[in-house]
Amino acid sequence: MPLQTYIQRSKRYGWILSYLKAYYLGVAFVVLCGVVIALGELALPKMIEYVVDDYYPNRDTASFRNLLLGFAGLIVVIAVASVARNMLQRIVGTKASRDLQFSVMKQIRRLGFAYYERHPVGETLSLMNEQVFAAQRLYNRFFPEMLESALFAILAFGLMAHNSWMLTAITIPCLLVYYFIGPYIDRNVSKWGREMYKTRIDFNRKVYETVSGLREFRAYSAEEWDLSENLRHYSGVTRSTLMWVIYIHARFSLRQVFFNIGTIALFVIGYTSIREGVLSVGGFVSFILLYAALMLKLSTLMSNLIEQTMVIQQMEPLHELMKLEPEVAEPERAAALADVQGHLEFRAVRFGYPNRPDVLKDVSLVIRPGERTAIVGTSGNGKSTLLKLVCRFYDPLEGEVLLDGKSLNELSFEQIRGSIGYVFQESYLFGISVRENIRFGKPDATDAEVEEAARIANAHEFILGLKDGYDTLVGDRGIKLSGGQRQRIAIARMVIKQPRIILLDEATSALDNVSEAEVKTALDRVMRGRAVIAVAHRLSTIQDFDRIIVLDEGRAAEIGRYEELLERRGIFYQIAMGQAKEREEAV
């Protein structure tokens, strides 16, 4: 193994084990229990040696009773230590896994939108589940078992050598052959284990797409195609799993072969040693028991080493994720605004994505408190990107965005986003009650505040008409509600937050005319006295806005009121005429 690879794996292993630091007392007790178990298991063969060599010839009943009590006591001690170790290592492992999972969740939140837009949801779910589960296996099994097996192997080998160095020498070739051949099989176990893990990630990603895109598959009558794709992905899982199982059983069979060869050789030489008086019968019985236990422990140790290496390799993506630094970082010492007014300013802002380098070019705007500003333009001209910069989901490549005269880079995320209410084109509702979805905007809101927000959002009446009123469960993503109802609940959620700035990202573009009118009425109530930036597709929704900004090729090409822009007969006029023609053709 190259030195660099070894160093990287060692660092990754140290990082995984670092989550055990908080539970060092529990880990120490697990290790102590392992020592007690190992010593107890080593003592049993020596006690049997005493029975065979000393008690049986002398028939000392009193000594036999004491020996039985000793046996019983030792077995009880081993049993108690085993139960304590198993329970404690489960507790410690579960808590360490929980801490790891929370760390991953916090890291994903830190990385923000840039990470989500480059990585599929299924991949993130696999990181959260598969790899954390792999770490839990390491905490619960590999780490404590390896310590116990290593200690037992060292002490058992010493006791065997003390009993008979000649018999011990015979076992060495068996151990060496297994050591040289075993790793080949173990490497294949590791290889197919990694392949099995990768194919499971792909399959999980495909299952997520199947569930998420169920509507599209049915609409396009593509269920059979989707089923065949799922079967194709699962075939990969099946193949890798079968190969992994084959090598696992080959490893077990190989261990049995060398164990049996060693046992036969030991019986042949042991018989000769007993006849010549070099070794007692009890000593030979003790040696065989120690040899059997040693082979089992060494096999467990080697298997765990290989599987632990596989786990460490599997967790490489998670480790790399945890080392990533967010592209948008919160300042260590954030400035504070005593009272946010909602004055926004874009100063010579340039921004682009890796695959679209010039989304915004030299954009300079001022949006005053209480002013309603609409952003229009053809698709791909940076309208929604402008809103993302206001929320500081991204940072400009050049220039800056200011809130009340302070650069967003100087303010905390909480202050920026706490002063903003954002309504998306398709707002996300949680699969909980209507009441709790609205209360999401202000977790400590009273029921009266929730209902008042719903009234302002023009949602109170339809909510009362639901089966359980405000306690009605809306289903996953609000699937039990219509598009207009979902948007009004989203608006109520924004209202209860009482933001100073409102961002609307085509909040009505996916609605029919009736729903759009209801949502627009609700928005008109909410927008009074607040700074508003609305990305609009339908120009009819922004006729009474204070100012309209037309983005074209990443620049603010036209700025003015609705009637002014029409009179100029520029880009805005062309967009308006195009929509008018579409309406006529629809009629």
pLDDT at site 44: 87
Q: What are the pLDDT digits (tens) for 380-419?
A: 778 888 989 998 888 899 999 999 888 999 888 888 888 8
pLDDT at site 399: 92
**CB-based contacts of 458: which residues, under 8 Å, 6+ apart?**
488, 491, 518, 519, 521, 522, 525
Burial track 177-189 (b if 16+ CB lie within 10 A, e otherwise): ebeeebeebbebb
Structural domain range at position 455: 344-586
Tokens 């193949």 -> residue: 239
HSE at residue 551, side-chain half, CA atoms within 13 A, is: 28
Mean confidence (pLDDT) of the chain: 82
176 and 310, same domain (yes or no): yes
Is residue 83 pLDDT above 90, yes or no? yes
- What mean pLDDT do residues 7-14 have? 80
208 and 59, same domain (yes or no): yes
- What mean pLDDT do residues 186-199 have? 76
pLDDT at site 341: 85
314 and 398, same domain (yes or no): no
pLDDT at site 182: 66
Residue 474 belongs to a domain: yes
**CB-based contacts of 541: which residues, under 8 Å, 6+ apart?**
508, 516, 520, 534
Residue 339 belongs to a domain: no
- What mean pLDDT do residues 295-308 have? 78
273 and 357, same domain (yes or no): no
Q: How confident is residue 56, by pLDDT bands cut at 50, 70 and 90? A: low
pLDDT at site 517: 72
Q: What are the pLDDT digits (tens) for 92-130?
A: 888 998 898 888 888 888 887 777 777 777 677 777 777
Q: What are the pLDDT digits (tens) for 121-163?
A: 767 777 777 778 778 878 877 777 788 888 888 888 888 888 8
Cα 390–395–399 angle (5° rounding)? 90
Q: Enumerate the β-bridge partners of residue 501.
A: 420, 531
306 and 386, same domain (yes or no): no
375 and 504, same domain (yes or no): yes
pLDDT at site 81: 92
185 and 243, same domain (yes or no): yes
Report percent pLDDT > 70 for the chain: 93
pLDDT at site 116: 76
Are 409 and 395 a contacting pair, CB within 8 Å?
yes
- Determine how many CB atoms are found less than 10 A away from the CB of residue 416: 21
Measure the CA–CA gap between 453 and 447, rounded to whole angstroms: 10
Cα 474–480–485 angle (5° rounding)? 80
499 and 439, same domain (yes or no): yes
Cα 563–567–569 angle (5° rounding)? 125
- What mean pLDDT do residues 219-244 have? 83
Measure the CA–CA gap between 554 and 560, rounded to whole angstroms: 17
**CB-based contacts of 304: which residues, under 8 Å, 6+ apart?**
141, 142, 145, 146, 149
Residue 2 belongs to a domain: no
Question: pTM for the whole thing?
Answer: 0.71
194 and 94, same domain (yes or no): yes
Is residue 296 pLDDT above 90, yes or no? no
Helix/strand/coil percentages in the chain, nearest 5? 70, 10, 20
Q: How confident is residue 235, by pLDDT bands cut at 50, 70 and 90? A: confident
104 and 150, same domain (yes or no): yes
- What mean pLDDT do residues 29-42 have? 89
Q: How confident is residue 513, by pLDDT bands cut at 50, 70 and 90? A: low
Q: Where are the alpha helices (DSSP H) in 164-280?
A: 165-212, 214-219, 223-275
DSSP string for residues in 426-442 = S----SSBHHHHHHTTS
Phi, psi of 463 (to 5 degrees): -65, -45
Residue 350 belongs to a domain: yes
Is residue 523 pLDDT above 70, yes or no? yes
HSE at residue 582, side-chain half, CA atoms within 13 A, is: 9
Q: What are the pLDDT digits (tens) for 444-456?
A: 889 999 998 888 8
pLDDT at site 3: 66
Q: Please give the residue that has the higher pLDDT: either 322 or 2.
A: 322
Q: Which CATH number covers residue 410?
A: 3.40.50.300
pLDDT at site 510: 56
Are 397 and 352 a contacting pair, CB within 8 Å?
yes
Q: How confident is residue 580, by pLDDT bands cut at 50, 70 and 90? A: low
Is residue 344 pLDDT above 60, yes or no? yes
End-to-end CA distance of the chain, in Å?
A: 72
Give the sign of the dihedral formed by CA 68, CA 70, CA 71, CA 73.
positive
Measure the CA–CA gap between 45 and 283, rounded to whole angstroms: 9
413 and 555, same domain (yes or no): yes
Q: How confident is residue 514, by pLDDT bands cut at 50, 70 and 90? A: low
Is residue 586 pLDDT above 60, yes or no? no
Q: Which CATH number covers residue 258?
A: 1.20.1560.10
Residue 66 belongs to a domain: yes
- What mean pLDDT do residues 218-238 have? 82
- Determine how many CB atoms are found less than 10 A away from the CB of residue 283: 22
Measure the CA–CA gap between 561 and 49, rounded to whole angstroms: 101
Q: How confident is residue 84, by pLDDT bands cut at 50, 70 and 90? A: very high
| Structural domains in the chain (count) | 2
Q: Please give the residue that has the higher pLDDT: either 481 or 179.
A: 481
Contacts 24+ apart (CB under 8 A), 553-561: 553/361, 553/381, 554/358, 554/359, 554/360, 554/361, 554/363, 554/381, 554/382, 555/360, 555/361, 555/362, 555/363, 556/363, 556/364, 556/365, 557/377
Q: What are the pLDDT digits (tens) for 366-382?
A: 888 888 899 988 777 78
pLDDT at site 448: 92
Is residue 181 pLDDT above 80, yes or no? no
DSSP helix/strand/coil, 113 = helix
Residue 466 belongs to a domain: yes
Is residue 587 pLDDT above 60, yes or no? no
pLDDT at site 461: 85
pLDDT at site 401: 92
Residue 231 belongs to a domain: yes
Q: How confident is residue 516, by pLDDT bands cut at 50, 70 and 90? A: low
287 and 195, same domain (yes or no): yes
